[in-house]
A and B are shown apart, each in its own frame.
Chain A
């Protein structure tokens, strides 16, 4: 007894015949459209074949892309943006008990200090907005009128790895999708030859927690961040093995495709068409990724603006790559730079080490905003700058006096993509300890970021283990003052 339709006898003397036979035999499987244009395999063939296909937003979007400059380790807002003359006056005084009662801190048992620490950095107001920026960020001081500062950011967790996860996934627990995964899951990506969510890293070490910061959690792995590496091949396994020329790779992929098509006809399994599309995308990535990192087409003026040395990995180079990525339609680009963990110990003091890390990011981040603006990309691109938390107004005594992790108030800034230009949002108390105005919790920031992309954070859900999960868990209020 036979329950199946009969398939045509495959005799493919030429590839053309083979294709037409396959298409004939497919019945319900929509391979015909796939085959209409051989270059259109995959991305342009719709969501069934490409999980990264562009999907509609919940409402019109203000931003199309995101570049998130993640300052790993927790930069000191008190040395950069949150100017507190009163703290300087009280330098060396114990912090009033009322501030710290019932609070928990990292390193509570050992070196946690209770004496206030004024900053030794000079602050000035800049631009039309009059935003305070310290001498540490001379370049950044020139873009303040394109930027909105949120000085009242707050988070829940005070250890690096959980706090980073919290900032990226809305949860301190492992296994939740990161923001970039949620976004590409929600609205796909416009690039059909690069991954939709790309991660770049610079600094002396990787960010704490590593790849879980850009993991897709319970979302399909398609949506996880793909790290672009600073040197060597930009994507793992992007280069063909020795002896496999581009021609040979193409011929091999053609043979794989023909045999996969034969199996598709035989089995009727649509997964095979997805796999054929995936191989085509992989092939395109093999040429587009090297092209992406090839900076030879960038003008001397551009390289000088960023302060990039062509072949040297740096934060500045990553900023330039970020611009090139959004130009190519990549949806979510995240840059990590370490090390902002200014406890005061060796390699992380608030003196030379802090000056060094400031120098490493200042020019590049300012150049990125300027360059995006000059190219008309800033209006569609949301630039986010911030760490997983800030630093305490109290000093911490290690080899030198530094600052501990602080979750109650820290500064982040946003530019482009539907945020106000030149706004200063939120305020902290006279010591910079608590947010006293417009407190913006991580969940609120997440809700706002999704909103700018045209996504309702309450509607962007994924059902897992019997529950509908969201980036914002059960929280999140829009930071409306940030919206243009």
Chain B
């Protein structure tokens, strides 16, 4: 099912007309082999034991013998298979369009001419860049020596200078603080924070700002949400039934881990195998929720094993995407077409994840647990009472049996009818039980007690749980699934890693923990590159490797390979002294990496589009400027909450239910309730909105939040009319506008002019230009006049919670203005 799409390579070689000149192997033949043969008969794969990357190896041949016989093209296997005339071997290239006749003729002629090739022809050995460990390149020399602020800038500037481009000037301070605040915490700065920063005369004002933001607990929320995309976090099981689940403790673990700057290697280890660490703490167990974020199918009639395996496959695929940046999923059904990942290796990875139970971990406080246990003791008492009662009525059974009419007998279960046809002494143990149960269950007193017990059990106090992984004591056997079909078991496999990456220290029965340690081994050429690239892309809208989830041979090579490698090395083994407070530079510190990026001159550039760049670098890959980036779905909400002053900044806890349009939940198969919070939960940050996989909150989806079915490493940024309808009309955003209007009117100000400026700053941090301010005042005055004429419209616009101290006309007019401000492109954009 999960197959790579075959791509058809264009045949772009120009074929020279046959001539007297001998065929040039290197210029004419080898390129054809490289384009059409190497993928299966080269360095990464040798189908049929054949390698075509040197003439010598082709002559050595494979399982079917030499590829050709020098001087005899007609007898050569190669020509026969290219023409499709061989009896046993399919036409080559396999399942691809045939080579043009002219190309086959050329190869035949080369064979007939003696298959001449250089004696020192080297086999294809070049390892794909991403599979070679990064090395720290020396910092490049640059001309504009006063521009770079740190090594990042040297790499960026060197490349720009190569293209004769100049970097942009630094963004103004207001833009800088809004940019850094949104990037690091996801919240807009308050006007007071803006003023403090703008007026901070100290040389290291910006660095101080960054330290302040990195120390904010909201940093963990902002960057935690990015990670939760990768982790495919959601609050429900998915598939069709989509029942709710409890795994928010994992979400909170992520936030906390980032806030305490848990080193990335440890961050990975705990999520993959926290349960297997020696003396694993409760927190480390919670971390294994990472791989419990798979869907669970509760539909009737399914084969549970099929969906257990779906989860395991997803864990393998996500591990490949999240940590290695490889599309290992391609190897589920067959050897990877492009990257050195065999199907067998895929199932060797699979074997690591095939040995877990999937329990819920109870996380109650001692008091909660004691309360729950006491309740259970009382449940047991009622159960004993029930048992006692049943015993007490047993003597009446024979009377009841005698009194049974045919009609009543017919209503009983078949087993009971059978048992009751027999005399009591003829019944076996089972039948005696069945008969007694039938009698007992019709007794009114018994029924009442049973109902009481059921009710009591239902009210048992809930203890917080979270979903975790737990290693099985008896491991399951793992097989290759032929063509990826779990019903077709192939070879038995044992846990193992990808051969193209550094070797896996041999060990008896390796576990997930061994796998996790192998993944974060500094020798692994991928893990650090993938991590720094993914962090980089959040700041610039695009990774240094644009295909952030494919570092394989089909991915796009890095725009700045030396910078990527330098960052990866610096991440794993810091060389630069730590900036301000910390004494030693911690390896794998994510905060350190953030600091490095956001204090660079590259990051601090203005984002204005430059005419001189439009034609040479339209997509801003060279970073001669910053980019304007539309905010992520959750942050669109957070900015509205921040600007309106409604934000409840509580961190963590169970997910919440802000308002959403009516009818959303009816779109799922199971109609689940959505009862909006009326308490402070209504104004929590977007990342805490309860996420139903089948019916996600529309305001999130419309702004491209991931569907959480599989790992998402980069969100698209769409720009649609439904977004406009959401910001204009959605109840949540209308409430923000109303609150912003009230905030405006309740804040002391001398004039509407001042009020407009204040409100503008709440939304976008900067002051409006005079024309912008005038345009808003024009709207305000027009609205005041209109509402004065139509007081009913003004009433209709106002929220339920009215403030009698505020004038209705004023408030309604300001609500219109607030709504405009909250809808501005700039409000939902990081500039």
A: residues with CB less than 8 A from B are 1-5, 10-12, 18, 27-28, 104, 106-108, 110, 156, 159-161, 171-175, 195, 201, 205-212, 215, 220-222, 226-227, 229, 232-233, 235-245, 248-249, 251-253, 255-256, 258-260, 262-263, 266-272, 274-275, 278-279, 281-282, 285-286, 405, 461, 465-470, 473-474
Q: Is the CB of A468 within 8 A of B5?
A: yes
A239 partner, pick from B611, B710, B722, B729, beta carbons under 8 A: B729
Which residues of B are found within 8 Å of A467, using beta-carbon distances? Answer: 4-5, 327, 330, 554
Q: A267-B609, A466-B327 are in contact. Are A11 and B722 (CB under 8 A)?
A: no
Q: Is the CB of A267 within 8 A of B628?
A: yes
Stretch at the interface among B269-277, B530-538, B657-665: B657-665
A260 partner, pick from B661, B783, B825, beta carbons under 8 A: B825
The yes or no answer to B240 lying at the interface (CB within 8 A) is yes
The yes or no answer to B819 lying at the interface (CB within 8 A) is yes
Q: A161-B297, A174-B709, A221-B718 are in contact. Are A238 and B725 (CB under 8 A)?
A: yes
Q: A241-B797, A256-B824 are in contact. Are A206 and B301 (CB under 8 A)?
A: no
Q: Is the CB of B661 within 8 A of A4?
A: no
Which residues of B are found within 8 Å of A209, using beta-carbon distances? Answer: 239-240, 669, 694
Q: Is the CB of A235 within 8 A of B725?
A: yes
B611 partner, pick from A27, A104, A240, beta carbons under 8 A: A27
Of all A-B residue pairs in the complex, the 3 with the closest CB atoms, nearest first, are A243-B797, A268-B609, A466-B550
Which residues of A are found within 8 Å of B239, using beta-carbon distances? Answer: 161, 209
Q: Is the CB of A263 within 8 A of B555?
A: no
Q: Is the CB of B734 within 8 A of A241?
A: yes
Which residues of A are found within 8 Å of B663, using beta-carbon distances? Answer: 229, 232, 236
Count residues on chain B whose CB falls below 8 Å from chain A CBs: 103
Q: List the B residue with the shortest CB-CB distance to A199.
A: B667
A252 partner, pick from B549, B667, B819, beta carbons under 8 A: B819
Q: List the B residue with the shortest CB-CB distance to A272.
A: B825
B 223-244 to A, binary, CB cutoff 8 A, 1 in contact else 0: 0000000000000001110100
Q: A173-B1, A174-B709 are in contact. Are A252 and B816 (CB under 8 A)?
A: yes
Q: Is the CB of A252 within 8 A of B820?
A: yes
Which residues of B are found within 8 Å of A237, using beta-carbon distances? Answer: 661, 698, 722, 725-726, 728-730
Distance from B554 Cβ to chain A, minimum over Cβ atoms (Å): 4
Q: Is the CB of B707 within 8 A of A175?
A: yes
The yes or no answer to B786 lying at the interface (CB within 8 A) is yes
How distant is the Cα of A144 from the Cα of B731 in the complex, in angstroms? 48
Q: Is the CB of B668 within 8 A of A465?
A: no
Q: List the A residue with the shortest CB-CB distance to B792.
A: A243
Which residues of B are found within 8 Å of A238, using beta-carbon distances? Answer: 725, 729
A206 partner, pick from B661, B666, B707, B716, beta carbons under 8 A: B666
Stretch at the interface among B52-60, B199-207, B769-777: B769-777
Q: A104-B303, A210-B667, A243-B796 are in contact. Are A278 and B330 (CB under 8 A)?
A: no
Q: List the A residue with the shortest CB-CB distance to B701.
A: A221
Q: Is the CB of B725 within 8 A of A251?
A: no
Complex A-B: 10 CB contacts under 8 Å: A106-B301, A108-B303, A201-B667, A210-B668, A210-B669, A212-B707, A262-B769, A271-B829, A281-B721, A473-B3
Could you tell me which residues of chain B, from 336 to 379, have a CB within 8 Å of some CB in chain A?
A: 338
Q: A3-B168, A221-B701 are in contact. Are A241 and B721 (CB under 8 A)?
A: no
Q: Is the CB of A263 within 8 A of B825?
A: yes
A210 partner, pick from B242, B554, B782, beta carbons under 8 A: B242
Q: List the B residue with the shortest CB-CB distance to A2.
A: B169
The yes or no answer to B671 lying at the interface (CB within 8 A) is yes
A269 partner, pick from B609, B709, B730, B769, beta carbons under 8 A: B609
The yes or no answer to B794 lying at the interface (CB within 8 A) is yes
How distant is the Cα of A404 from the Cα of B730 in the complex, in angstroms? 43
Q: Is the CB of B707 within 8 A of A282?
A: no
Which residues of A are found within 8 Å of B825, using beta-carbon distances? Answer: 260, 263, 271-272, 275
Which residues of B are found within 8 Å of A278, using beta-carbon distances? Answer: 719-721, 723-724
How distant is the Cα of A270 from the Cα of B302 in the complex, in angstroms? 49
Q: List the A residue with the shortest CB-CB distance to B819.
A: A252
How distant is the Cα of A242 from the Cα of B798 in the complex, in angstroms? 8
Q: List the A residue with the shortest CB-CB distance to B730.
A: A237
Q: A229-B663, A466-B552 are in contact. Are A28 and B611 (CB under 8 A)?
A: yes
The yes or no answer to B487 lying at the interface (CB within 8 A) is yes
How distant is the Cα of A171 from the Cα of B4 in the complex, in angstroms? 12
Which residues of A are found within 8 Å of B460, using beta-carbon distances? Answer: none
Distance from A100 Cβ to chain B, minimum over Cβ atoms (Å): 15
Q: List the B residue with the shortest CB-CB distance to A215.
A: B707
Distance from A181 Cβ to chain B, minimum over Cβ atoms (Å): 12
Q: Is the CB of A259 within 8 A of B662?
A: no
Q: A466-B555, A467-B330, A467-B554 are in contact. Are A220 and B721 (CB under 8 A)?
A: no
How distant is the Cα of A240 from the Cα of B238 in the complex, in angstroms? 32
Q: Is the CB of B769 within 8 A of A10?
A: yes
Q: Is the CB of B552 within 8 A of A161?
A: no
Q: Is the CB of A220 within 8 A of B611?
A: no
Of listed A209, A281, A285, residue having the most chain B CB within 10 A: A209
Which residues of A are found within 8 Å of B820, using beta-carbon distances? Answer: 252, 255-256, 259
Q: Is the CB of B694 within 8 A of A245?
A: no
The yes or no answer to B823 lying at the interface (CB within 8 A) is yes
How distant is the Cα of A160 from the Cα of B298 in the complex, in angstroms? 12
How distant is the Cα of A109 from the Cα of B292 in the complex, in angstroms? 27
Q: List the A residue with the shortest CB-CB distance to B764.
A: A263
The yes or no answer to B812 lying at the interface (CB within 8 A) is yes
The yes or no answer to B299 lying at the interface (CB within 8 A) is yes
Which residues of B are found within 8 Å of A474, using beta-carbon distances? Answer: 3, 5-6
Q: Is the CB of A104 within 8 A of B299?
A: no
How distant is the Cα of A270 from the Cα of B662 in the complex, in angstroms? 34
How distant is the Cα of A408 from the Cα of B718 in the complex, in angstroms? 40
